[in-house]
Amino acid sequence: MTPANPAFDTVADTADVTALLERGRALSAPVLRAAVDRLAPPMDTVAAYHFGWIDAEGRPSDGDGGKAVRPALALLSAEAAGAPAEAGIPGAVAVELVHNFSLLHDDLMDGDEQRRHRDTVWKVHGPAQAILVGDALFALAYDLLLELGTVQAGRAARRLTTATRKLIDGQAQDISYEHRERVTVEECLEMEGNKTGALLACAVSIGAVLGGADDRTADTLEAYGYHLGLAFQAVDDLLGIWGDPESTGKQTWSDLRQRKKSLPVVAALAAGGEASERLGELLAADAKSNDFDSFSEEEFAARAALIEEAGGREWTAQEARRQHAVAIEALHAVDMPHRVRKQLTELADFVVVRKR
């Protein structure tokens, strides 16, 4: 039987990574909460709901705040520059704020009703609050960085701006690709680089910049983060089709149900051959179908099988491995404490073997 995540069939030792993610969460969460508390009502409540700290009725909740890979990276980033992990905290929180600003807006633009097993903000609090609170989190990210008042903070804010602009470009591409029948593999990779790579890259440089790193070091760390982001997204695309619903918290064949032109689909369509052509015909018919919403498990399974037969699954797994390798290579172009390099390597391994 094929493993749920076919990028790697070994299981990495994740004890160390769990501790790293936990440290990222523990050091950034109080600062994130204090930042969100600065928002005027009712935006503070809406944001608290989005972060999973309260439920739709306002009762305390300890929702799933996500994997917290970015905060863990931002703290390691500071340590990579020889600074204490704590120097990366404002950067970690600023990146989380920008990430969540984009989730709030993207969920509304995409009409997504669920995130992390809960109704999205626009479903619960309405579109206006989703726009407004997204804007507020975005502004808050700059507040947090610029109130440091240092030259380093200005440089960090500039990198965050560049990443955010790419994030927005990626969302623009994602929206425009939805209306197109065909998307090339290159376009898909560019879009995923913008949507996922850029902010992960920023997470890995922002702590270093705050810790006093020069631009060359920051750029190289960003290369690690960018390719890590592409590896992360390739795995996400695999999980979006073949992930175990128990682990991912998503429906079976989730990305197929949403007609996402993710890497396995795009690669399968580009591959040529019989399965590729048959898949192309099916998806073209699906795009016009009125019954799509009532498709059975078997119909999605048939599409997934064609994607696999055309080579889309294996190509994407290889792509994850390739991006992982490029990321690790970048790590060796920067001088940093041995322990930090080891932990950044373990985090990269974790990202590609994860099952959710």
Site string for a copy of itself, 251-290 (x = CB under 8 A): ----------------------------------------
- Interface residue with a copy of itself, options 30, 127, 272, 337 (CB under 8 A): 127
Among 4, 12, 31, 109, binds a copy of itself (CB under 8 A): 109
Cβ-based nearer residue to a copy of itself, 165 or 339: 165
Tell me which of 97, 108, 327, 340 binds a copy of itself, using CB under 8 A. 108
Q: Which of 21, 80, 83, 157 is in the footprint of a copy of itself by CB under 8 A? A: 157
Residue (168 or 326) nearer to a copy of itself, CB:
168
- Total number of residues that touch a copy of itself (CB under 8 A): 41
Q: Can residue 151 be called a binding residue for a copy of itself (CB under 8 A)? A: yes
- Closest approach, Cβ 198 to a copy of itself, in A, equals 12
Task: Candidates 153, 183, 200, 210: give the one binding a copy of itself (CB under 8 A).
Answer: 153
Q: Strands, E, within 5-87: which ranges?
A: none
Residue owning tokens 């903000």: 121
Q: Which one among 50, 70, 99, 105 touches a copy of itself, defined by CB under 8 A?
A: 105
DSSP 12-30: ---HHHHHHHHHHHHHHHH
Say how far apart CA 223 and CA 171 lie, in whole Å.
Answer: 21
Q: Is the backbone of residue 118 left (phi > 0), alpha (psi -120 to 50) or beta?
A: beta
- φ, ψ of residue 214 to 5 degrees: the values are -80, 175
Distance CA 81, CA 50 (A): 33
Q: Which residues contact 32 (CB under 8 A, 6 or more apart)?
A: 51, 93, 96, 97
Q: 29-48: which residues touch a copy of itself (CB under 8 A)? A: 40-43
Amino acid 212 reads: G
- What distance in Å separates the CA atoms of residue 187 and residue 340, rounded to the nearest whole number? 34
Whole-angstrom Cα distance, residue 345 to residue 20? 12
Which residues inside 170-209 make contact with a copy of itself, applying CB under 8 A?
171-173, 175-176
Of 26 and 151, the one with the shorter C-beta distance to a copy of itself is: 151
How far is residue 283's CA from residue 297's CA, in Å, rounded to a whole number?
A: 16
Interacting residues with a copy of itself (CB under 8 A): 40-43, 101, 105, 108-109, 127-128, 131-132, 134-136, 138-140, 142-143, 146-147, 149-151, 153-155, 157-158, 161-162, 164-165, 168-169, 171-173, 175-176
